Structure 1
Amino acid sequence: MGFRFSKRITIVPGVRLNISTRGVSTSIGPRGLSMTMGRNGTYLNAGLPGTGLSYRQRLDGGRQSGAAPAFDPDAYTGSIKVKVEDDGTLSITDESGNPLPPALAKRAKSDQAVAIEELLNKAAQRANQDLTDCLSVHVGTPRPGDSPALPPPFAMPMPTEPTPQKPGLMDRLFSAGKLEADRVALDQQYQEDLAEWTAARDAQEGERSEVEKTFRLAAKGFSAHMEKALDYVLSGITWPKETTVGYQFTQDAAGIALDVDLPDLADTPRRTAEAKGNGKLTFKNRSDAQVRRDFVGMCYGSLFRVVGEVFAVLPPINRCLVSGYVQRNDPATGRLEEPYILSVVVRREDWDLLDFDRIEHIDPADTMNRFGARVDLDRAAQFREIQPFEIEQLG
C-alpha cells in the first residue's frame, strides 16, 4: 500500500498550506487590464483581482506628439477608458464607465491603434500566464548546493529625532509654555516611533537569524531542524495550482519519502489568447488530448520541483522518494478515491548530473522516467493507478 502522511505544512496554526495561487483570484486573464486616454496622456492600468494591488504605466512616452489627440476636444472634454472584456472585446467608455458615442469610440480606436494593440498584447500575455506557469512549474527548481533564500533584511528607515526649534524673543515672552508643551509632545511621539521601529527591527532580525540557524543545523543533519528547513522552503513555493506535500524521513535521516497531492485535470487551463490585430482578443480552446498532455507535464514538473527543493535545502539527504496522487470520484461507488499515479526514487548522485544552467531545456518527464519512475499512461495520455514505491525501499 502507498503511504499517507499526516504531516502537512502550515502557514499559521489551523490553516493548512495551500501552496497555490488559486483562491487569490478566480480569473487570470484580461480582467483588471484597461487603458485610459486623456489630456494628460495614455496610461495602462492593471490590477490583481482580490488583492487591492494595481499599477499604472504611461504608454505614450510622456510626449505630446503632433498626432491627432485621443478625442475631439470640441465634442468631449473628459478621459476615455479602454478595457478588454472577458470575451476579448474592447469596451470604450468615459471614466465613469458610460458608453461613448459611436463616432467618438471609432475615433479613439483609430487615433490610439498602437496603444490599443499594446493593451491587447498585454492582455493576451496575462491570459496565457496561467498555462505558462503550469507548464514551467519545474523551472524554479534550485540547483544542488544553492543556499535557500533568507527573509529580507530589515529595511525600514530609523525615525528621525526631532530638531529643537530655537525660540525667538517674542516666543520666549509670550509662548514659552506652548513651545515647551510642543517639544515634549514631539519627543514623546519620537520615543514611541523609535520603540515601534526597534521592536519591528528586532523581530525581523530575530526571524532572519532563526531561519539562518535552522538551515545551518539542518545541513549538519539535525532532524528537527531538517523538518523546519523543509517546511520553510516548501511553504515559499508559489505553485500554479493547488498542491500539498507531506513527508517522512527514514530512521537514518539520510532518506526521505514525500507524498504530493497533485492538482486535478480540471484545473488545467483549456484555452489560450492571442491579439491578432483585429481589434480584439481571440481565444482558442485547446483540445482534450492537449489538455491531458499538459496535465501530465504539470504532474511530472511538480514532483521534479519537490525533489530539487529537498536536495538543495537538506545536504544530508541522499535518497528521495516522491509519489504523487490525485483525488477522483469513483462513479461506481460515489466515493472519493486518492489513487497514486506517479512514483520515483531519486538518488543525489544522479540528480547532481543534471545541467541546471539549462533547466528550461530539461523535460521533467524524461528525467523522472530515466530514473525509473512508476507510471502507467494509456494511449489517451490518461494516468492509471499505480503501486508507489515504499519508504522501506530507500534502504
Structure 2
Amino acid sequence: MGFRMRKSFKIAPGVRLNVGTKSAGISVGGKGLRYSVNSKTGSRVTVGVPGTGISYTTSGRSYNSAAYSRSQELRRLEREQAKLEELERNKLIVEIYENKIEMIKSIHKECDNKIDWIKMEKSKPPYYPEKGEKGVNEANAIEKLQAYRPSFIDKLFRRQDKKIEGFRYLIEVAKKEDEKEYNSWKELVDIAKKINNGDIQAYLDVIDEFKPLDDLVEFGSGFEFFLEDPDLIEVDFDVNTESIVPKECKSLTKTGKVSTKQMTKTKYFDLQQDYVCSCTLRIARDMFALLPLNYVVVNALEKRLDTSIGKRENEVILSVKIDRETLEGLNMNLIDPSDSMENFECNMNFKKTGGLVKVDRIMD
C-alpha cells in the first residue's frame, strides 16, 4: 500500500444526564411509627423505639380555627404534590432511557446538508471591485451620508462637521466588511476548485474545518480519516459500546415507581449491532454530503482484552465499503441499520449471545 495522508482528531464524550432516585425520594414514616384513624377516638400516632419496649402515643387534635384547618389542608396538598413530583420525575427517568435507546437506533436518519462544490465554484462574487463596484455595506453607508441633513440643533451647536466625520468613518468600516466578505467568497471558490480537481489535501482541510461528525460526540470517542484517492475515503471510528449502550432496562410500574432490570444478553448485543451499524451509515452519509466521493470505507473499532498480552487493544468489529449510489437509494426512515449492511461489501460477524466479533479490514 502506498503512502497515506492522514489526519485525525478525537472528540470528547458528551455530558450525559444522570438521574438518581435516592437523592429525590420522599420517605414517610419509619420503623416504630404507626398512624391510625378510628371513628370514635380520632387519629392516633404511635412512636416506638425498636428493641427497647419504649413507646409514646398521642391522639390527633381536631382544630376549629380556619387557620389551623387550612394549615392541615395545605400539608395534605403538599404531601400529594410531593408524590406527584416523584411520579413526574420517574416518568422523566424512563422517558430519558427510552429516548436514548431510540437515538442509538436512529443515528443514521440524520445527515448534514449536501455541499454542491461545482455550484460553489461557479458562484458570483458579492460585488466586482475590479469594475469599480462598491459593496452593499459601503453603498448603504454612503447613502446615509448623502441623505444627512443638519438639524436645527446640529446647526445651533455646530455639529455638522462632526456628524459628517462620523458618517465617513462608518463608510470605511463598511468598506472593510465588504472586503472581508469578498475575500471569504474568493477563498471558498479557491477551495471549491481544489475539491473539484481532486486535491486530497483540500479534502482533509475541509474535513478539519467543517468537522462533519462533531454532533456524533455521544456516539464515538474518535474518528480518523485516510485518503489516497479522491474517489474514496476510509474512516476509523471508536464505537465505545460500554459507555453508550445501556446494560439495564427501565420501565414505569403501575404504582409509578421506576423498575430497573438487567438487560438480556441477546437484547444488549442486538442494540450494540444496531448502534454500530447506524453510526456507520451516518458517517458514510456525512462524507458523501461533504465531499464528491463515490466510496466510503468505515471501520468500527472497539478496545477489547487481548489475552496474549494482557492489554486492551483496538479490534475491528465491522468493516464495510459503502458506495454512494446504493446508499442514496435506501429509505433511511424504514431500514434496519443492521440488515442494511447486506447491501454492501461488508465484513461483519454477529453472535446472538456474543455480539460483534473481530473481523478483517476491507482492503480498498
Per the normalisation by structure 1, the TM-score is 0.57
Residues 219 and 226 in structure 1, CA contact (< 8 A), matched pair in contact too: no
Q: Which of these residues, 288, 296, 315, is aligned with residue 311 of structure 1?
A: 288
Query: What is the distance in 1 between the residues matched to 2:207 and 2:96?
Result: 32
Residues 97 and 250 in structure 2, CA contact (< 8 A), matched pair in contact too: yes
Deviation digits for residues 77-98 of structure 1 (CA, Å, limit 9, x no counterpart): xxxxxxxx44595459xxxxxx
Deviation at 1:324, TM superposition (A): 1.6
Structure 1: tracts of 5 or more residues without a match:
9-15, 31-84, 93-100, 151-163
Distance 1:347 1:226, change over 3 A: same
User: Is 1:238 aligned to residue 216 of structure 2?
Assistant: yes
Partner in structure 2 of residue 248 of structure 1: 226
Query: What is the distance in 2 between the residues matched to 1:127 and 1:102?
Result: 38
Residues 234 and 309 in structure 1, CA contact (< 8 A), matched pair in contact too: yes
Deviation digits for residues 214-233 of structure 1 (CA, Å, limit 9, x no counterpart): 45642453322222223324
Partner in structure 2 of residue 270 of structure 1: 247
Deviation at 1:212, TM superposition (A): 7.3
1:188-203 paired onto structure 2 within 5 Å: none
Report which of the two has the higher share of helix: 2
Amino acid at match of 2:320: V
Residues 343 and 373 in structure 1, CA contact (< 8 A), matched pair in contact too: yes
Query: What is the distance in 2 between the residues matched to 1:17 and 1:141?
Result: 20
Partner in structure 2 of residue 154 of structure 1: none
Amino acid at match of 1:245: F
**Aligned pairs, number:** 295
Partner in structure 1 of residue 80 of structure 2: 110
Residues 247 and 258 in structure 1, CA contact (< 8 A), matched pair in contact too: yes
Residues 327 and 337 in structure 1, CA contact (< 8 A), matched pair in contact too: yes
| Cα RMSD for the two superposed structures | 4.9
User: What SS does structure 1 have at the residue aligned with 2:271?
Assistant: helix
Query: What is the distance in 2 between the residues matched to 1:165 and 1:113?
Result: 68
Residues 5 and 246 in structure 1, CA contact (< 8 A), matched pair in contact too: no
User: What SS does structure 1 have at the residue aligned with 2:212?
Assistant: helix
Distance 1:4 1:134, change over 3 A: farther
Distance 1:120 1:204, change over 3 A: farther
Q: Which of these residues, 10, 23, 26, is aligned with residue 17 of structure 1?
A: 10
Amino acid at match of 1:293: D
Distance 1:87 1:137, change over 3 A: farther
Query: What is the distance in 2 between the residues matched to 1:140 and 1:354?
Result: 14
1:281-320 paired onto structure 2 within 5 Å: 281-315=258-292, 317-320=293-296
Q: Which of these residues, 109, 115, 136, is aligned with residue 106 of structure 2?
A: 136
Partner in structure 2 of residue 124 of structure 1: 94
1:1-395 paired onto structure 2 within 5 Å: 7-8=7-8, 16-18=9-11, 22-23=13-14, 25=15, 27-30=16-19, 85-87=20-22, 90-91=25-26, 106-110=76-80, 120-142=90-112, 145=114, 214=191, 217-231=194-208, 232-251=210-229, 253-276=230-253, 278-315=255-292, 317-355=293-331, 359-391=332-364
Distance 1:120 1:166, change over 3 A: farther
Query: What is the distance in 2 between the residues matched to 1:120 and 1:240?
Result: 24
Deviation digits for residues 157-179 of structure 1 (CA, Å, limit 9, x no counterpart): xxxxxxx9998xxxx9xxx9xxx
Deviates more, 1:372-381 or 1:266-275: 266-275
Query: What is the distance in 2 between the residues matched to 1:272 and 1:212?
Result: 51
Distance 1:238 1:319, change over 3 A: closer
User: What SS does structure 1 have at the residue aligned with 2:7?
Assistant: coil
Residues 130 and 240 in structure 1, CA contact (< 8 A), matched pair in contact too: no
Deviation at 1:388, TM superposition (A): 1.0
Query: What is the distance in 1 between the residues matched to 2:299 and 2:363?
Result: 9
Deviation digits for residues 7-29 of structure 1 (CA, Å, limit 9, x no counterpart): 21xxxxxxx431x5x25x2x424
Residues 305 and 311 in structure 2, CA contact (< 8 A), matched pair in contact too: yes
Structure 2: tracts of 5 or more residues without a match:
28-70, 121-149
Deviation at 1:371, TM superposition (A): 1.1
Query: What is the distance in 1 between the residues matched to 2:216 and 2:361?
Result: 26
Query: What is the distance in 2 between the residues matched to 1:146 and 1:246?
Result: 21
Deviation at 1:304, TM superposition (A): 1.1
Query: What is the distance in 2 between the residues matched to 1:204 and 1:334?
Result: 57
Deviation at 1:319, TM superposition (A): 2.3
Deviation at 1:387, TM superposition (A): 1.3
Deviation digits for residues 189-236 of structure 1 (CA, Å, limit 9, x no counterpart): xx99x97x9999988997787567645642453322222223324343
Distance 1:288 1:274, change over 3 A: same
Larger radius of gyration: 2
Distance 1:212 1:4, change over 3 A: closer
Partner in structure 2 of residue 58 of structure 1: none
Deviation at 1:105, TM superposition (A): 6.1
Partner in structure 1 of residue 53 of structure 2: none
